């Protein structure tokens, strides 16, 4: 195995060396080493991609679509994305100039934030929040500013947003993720309108991460892009909606002036997206609504089954509005160090969950459990937790 010449590690940017690896992935990798563990860690649908997706990908391969796509992605996929946004969320985007295809929503986040953030800026996000935002803020020499929501049922209020903006004049953008990872909170039209009224008085950009938008249990998902189109970048994709996490297709929808800049970062990093994957994603968005609804209904059944069971175990948990996570408040009689308690459950109860502090300061004292798992595995996890907590010395 080669070793780096002594001293050459100093050539790596110090700020990059100080960035943490993805803590969700790190915890999952650690727990994978435990024999017999039930992993409820990652946001990985337990369904397989629909047959219509597989057929479209096979057809693409057989038609020798192995050459470069355009940087923005195939015309067919961008049209499908525009139609999907119009059909579901009443968003109007020109597929030629206002849609960019990305390698999953992760690259959509990366390309967008790398385009709009500069040294000295601040990036706002309600906390708890998906950890990628903070690390990309650091990459771009930007300060992450978390807005606490623990005392408002994990909902960002217009009052708190207004106060935060006043205290942070260097704020460049705010990231809104809804349904939220990890809390599952979604926003009503009225709530979004109140936030938009505050943001409209500023030059903030809204980066609206709506990757879980189809997995909503409380009504129709509303995009803030339909309320504040001139200040919103909408991010979405097929990973969660169509169980296509490994195919890595996402997209950015924004005013053409922004897309023209974001595509530069995308092109330098990626060049172009896989044609067979785009073909599958095109079929998913055009023909897969019924499949998505079947998945959503199954997730809702799991949610409704799990919530009363965890309450019996002493966890405080609110019903998530969407996505497929439970954000569990650790019982008062248990170890309140969420990292230590998650490791305790992994090694002694053989149930793997993610510590809430992986999602920023607002997640301390919580655990995130993914119920994108089979009913049998969820029941077994409950049985193991019940057995362990019953004899826990805490």
User: Going by DSSP bridges, is the β-strand pair 122-127/143-148 parallel, antiparallel, or unpaired?
Assistant: parallel
Residues of the chain with pLDDT under 50: none
Q: How far is CA 247 from CA 41, 102, 127, 231, in A?
A: 20, 11, 29, 30
Show the tokens assigned to 34. Answer: 């435990």
CA torsion angle for 221, 281, 323, 252 (degrees, to 10)? -60
What interhelical angle do 275-287 and 75-89 show, nearest 10? 30
State the pLDDT at residue 364. Answer: 96
CB 231 within 8 A of CB 199: yes
State the pLDDT at residue 15. Answer: 87
| Cβ atoms < 10 Å from Cβ of 171 | 21
Compute the half-sphere exposure of residue 333: CA atoms within 13 Å on the CB side of its CA: 9
State the pLDDT at residue 393. Answer: 55
CB 141 within 8 A of CB 116: no
CA distance 236 to 213: 8
Instruction: Give the global pTM.
Output: 0.96
């Amino acid at each position: 195995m080669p070793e780096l010449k002594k001293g050459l590690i100093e050539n790596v940017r110090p700020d990059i060396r100080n960035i943490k690896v993805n803590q969700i992935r790190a915890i999952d990798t650690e727990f994978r080493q435990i024999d017999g563990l039930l992993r409820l860690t990652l946001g990985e649908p337990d369904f397989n991609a629909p047959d219509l997706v597989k057929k479209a990908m096979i057809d693409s391969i057989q038609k020798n679509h192995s050459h470069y796509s355009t940087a923005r992605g195939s015309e067919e996929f961008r049209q499908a994305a525009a139609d999907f946004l119009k059909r579901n969320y009443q968003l109007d985007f020109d597929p030629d100039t206002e849609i960019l295809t990305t390698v999953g929503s992760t690259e959509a986040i990366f390309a967008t934030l790398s385009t709009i953030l500069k040294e000295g800026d601040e990036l706002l996000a309600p906390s708890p929040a998906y950890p990628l935002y903070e690390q990309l803020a650091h990459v771009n020499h930007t300060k992450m500013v978390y807005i606490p929501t623990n005392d408002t049922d994990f909902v960002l209020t217009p009052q708190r947003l207004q106060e935060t903006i006043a205290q942070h004049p260097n704020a460049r953008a705010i990231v809104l993720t809804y349904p939220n990872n990890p809390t599952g909170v979604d926003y009503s039209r009225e709530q979004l309108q109140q936030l938009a009224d505050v943001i409209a008085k500023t030059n903030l950009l809204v980066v609206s991460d709506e990757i879980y938008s189809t997995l909503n249990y409380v009504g129709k998902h509303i995009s803030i892009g339909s309320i504040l189109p001139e200040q919103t970048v909408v991010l979405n994709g097929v990973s969660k909606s169509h169980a296509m996490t490994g195919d890595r297709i996402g997209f950015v929808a924004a005013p053409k002036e922004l897309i023209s800049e974001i595509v530069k970062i995308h092109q330098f990093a990626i060049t172009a997206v896989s044609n067979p994957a785009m073909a599958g994603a095109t079929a998913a968005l055009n023909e897969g609504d019924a499949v998505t609804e079947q998945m959503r209904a199954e997730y809702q059944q799991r949610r409704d089954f799990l919530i009363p069971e965890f309450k019996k175990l002493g966890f405080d948990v609110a019903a998530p509005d969407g996505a497929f996570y439970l954000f569990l408040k650790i019982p008062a009689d248990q170890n309140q160090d969420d990292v230590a308690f998650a490791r305790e459950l992994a090694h002694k109860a053989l149930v793997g969950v993610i510590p809430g502090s992986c999602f920023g300061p607002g997640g301390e004292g919580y655990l995130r459990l993914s119920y994108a798992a089979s009913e049998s595995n969820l029941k077994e996890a409950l049985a193991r937790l019940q057995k362990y907590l019953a004899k826990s010395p805490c």
